[in-house]
Amino acid sequence: MNSVRVSFHKRCYFSSSTASSSLPWISPLQVVKSNSRKADPPPETSHASMESQRKLKFISHETAINLIKREKDPQRALEIFNRVSEQKGFSHNSATYGTILHKLAQSKKFQAIDSLVRQMTYETCRFHEGIFLNLMKHFSKFSLHHKVLEMFNAIQPIVREKPSLKAISTCLNLLIESNQVDLARDFLLNSKKSLRLRPNTCIFNILVKHHCSNGDLESAFEVVKEMKKSRVSYPNLITYSTLMGGLCESGRLKEAVDLFEEMIGKDQILPDALTYNVLINGFSREGKVDQARKIMEFMKNNGCSPNLFNYSALMNGLCKGGRWQEAKELFVEMKSSGLKPDTIGYTTLINCLCRADQIDEAMALLKEMKEYECQPDVVTLNIILGGLCRGGRFEEALQMLEKLPYEGVYLNKASYRIVLNALCQKDELEKATKLLGLMLGRGFFPHYATSNELLIRLCKAEMVDDAVTAMSGLAETGFKPELHCWEFLVELNCRERKLLPVFELLDELVIKECSHNRICNIYSPESIGNPNYLYNFHFL
C-alpha cells in the first residue's frame, strides 16, 4: 500500500516541478525515488546534447547542503532538496534533512516541516536528535509551545532511541523560559513515567533557576533539598551561583555570603569568576562597594584572577556612589593586570565620567577606544552625546551626529532624540530646527511630545517660517499635532498676515488627515468661512 502511495506522490511531483515558483507550495511528501515510474522512450537527440548529459555531475550530500544553505527562497531550497533525491543511488541523510528543516524553520514554514518530519519516519538512514533540538528552539522562539513537545515526542520513533537527558533538559528549559510552567510540570511527570527518568543536576538546576527568576526562593531551596537526597543530582557550582544570585536580587546579601561559605566549606566546591561576580555585582548594586572590594581581594588571594566582568561590576558600583577617582584607578589597575578593556568596560567608565561632568576625559577615552580598535557601540555614543548636551556643548554633539554615519558608525533614533530634546529644553531653536531636518532626511522621527514642544517654542519665539517648515516636514511622516499646537501655529501666521502658509497647512494637514475628526470638524471649509473663526484667528 505504501509503495502505491509513494509512486502516486512521485507523479504529482514531476507534474509540478517544472512550474513557476509562484505556484502553491511543493509538499515534501511528493518527493520519492523515480524508479517506480516507467520512463518514456528517450527522444532522438543530437550528439552534442548527449555529450552535455554525460557531463552532468552527481550532486553529493555536501554539495546539496551548500546549495540549500545558499538559497534564500525557502521554496526553492525545498525544490533543491527534492530534485537531488531523483539522482540514481542518492538517499537523503541526517545532515541534508537537518539543513532543509533549519532553513524552513527560519522562514516559519511550519506546515512543510510537519510534512518532512512525517516523511522521515519512512527513511532508513540514521537520524540524530540534534535535528529535533534545533526545531524545538525555533518553535519556542515563535511561542509554539505545543510544537516543542511534538518535536520532543518525535525523537524516539524517528531516531529510534530514547531521548537523552540533554534533550529532556532542553525541552524543559524552553518551556520554563517561556513561562509555560504547567506544560513543564506535566512534561517532567510524563518523562518520569514513560522514560523512567531520574532527574540529574542539570534538570534540577532549570527548576532552581525558574523559582529564583520568579523570586520564589523558598521553592528554590526546596528543590535543592531534593537534589541533596540523590547522588545523581547533587547541587553543583551552577546551583549555588543561581541561588546566590536570587538572594542578591532580593537584597538578602548576608544569606548569599553564608551560602557561599557553605558551598566552599561544607561541599568543597570552589567558586569561579562568575560566582564571585554574583556577589560583587550584588553588593555593588546595593551601594555596599567596600564589601564588594573585599570580595574581589578575597578572590585574588585564593588564586582566582578577576575578569572584565568583575572589574566592570565594581566600577559601576563606584560610579553610582560618586567615587569617580576610585573608578578611574580601578580601570588603570584592570589594564595593568593584562586585561584588555572591552566595550562594556570603556562604556562603564565613560558613563561615570559623563555623570561627573568630566566630558574631556570621557572624550579622551572614546579616542583611546578607537586607537585600541575597540569599537564603541550605540550605547557608548549615546552616553557621550548626553554628556555633551548636559555640558552645553551642542556644536560638538551636532558634529558627531553629522559625521559618525559617514565613518560607518551605527546610530539609532535615541541618538538624535537625546540631542533634540536637550536643544528644545535650552531654547536652542535654530540648532533644533537644523537637527530636525537632518533626522527626517535620514529616516529618524522625533518623539511626539518633542515635536509638539518644538513647534510651540518656535511659535512663541515668533520663528514663523521655521515653524511652518518644521510642521510641513513632520506632516509628511504622518505626524498629527496636538490641537493647541495647531491653533497656536495658525494664529501666529494669521497675525503676520501670512495667509498662504495657513491655507497650505490646511490643505496638507486637515484635508490629508480627514480621519482626525476633531481637527476636521474645527477646520472644515465651512468653519473657515465662519466670522467667529475669522475673528478668533485675527483675519479682521
Q: What pLDDT shows up at residue 452?
A: 83
Which own/partner pairs from 239-243 qualify as long-range (CB within 8 Å, at least 24 positions apart)? 239/201, 239/204, 239/205, 239/208, 240/267, 240/269, 240/275, 241/271, 241/274, 241/275, 241/278, 242/205, 242/208, 242/209, 242/212, 243/208, 243/212, 243/217
Q: Which amino acid is at 504?
A: E
Q: What pLDDT shows up at residue 45?
A: 46
494-523 average pLDDT score: 53
Q: What pLDDT shows up at residue 387?
A: 95
Q: What pLDDT shows up at residue 1?
A: 41
Summarised one tens digit per residue, pLDDT across range 100-144 is 999 999 999 999 999 999 999 999 899 999 999 999 999 999 999
Instruction: Kindly report the backbone phi and psi dihedral angles of residue 517, in degrees, each rounded to the nearest multiple of 5, phi listed first.
Output: -60, -40
Q: What pLDDT shows up at residue 510?
A: 56
Among 61-75, 361-375, 463-477, name the one with the lowest average pLDDT.
463-477
State yes or no: pLDDT of 208 exceeds 60.
yes
Q: Percent of the chain having pLDDT more than 70?
A: 79
Q: Are 202 and 169 in contact, with CB atoms under 8 Å apart?
A: yes
Higher model confidence: residue 478 or residue 16? 478
Q: What pLDDT shows up at residue 49?
A: 46
Q: Would you tell me how many other CB atoms lie within 10 Å of the CB of residue 277?
A: 25
Summarised one tens digit per residue, pLDDT across range 219-248 is 999 999 988 887 778 999 999 999 999 999
Q: What pLDDT shows up at residue 46?
A: 46
State yes or no: pLDDT of 38 exceeds 70.
no
pTM flag (> 0.95): no
CA distance linking residue 433 with residue 451, whole number of Å: 10
DSSP structure string for 146-168: HHHHHHHHTHHHHH-SPPPHHHH
What letter does residue 509 receive in the DSSP assignment? I
Q: What pLDDT shows up at residue 498?
A: 56
What letter does residue 44 receive in the DSSP assignment? P
Q: What pLDDT shows up at residue 209?
A: 92
Q: What pLDDT shows up at residue 509?
A: 56
State yes or no: pLDDT of 528 exceeds 60.
no
Summarised one tens digit per residue, pLDDT across range 449-484 is 888 888 888 878 878 778 778 877 887 787 777 766
State yes or no: pLDDT of 4 exceeds 80.
no
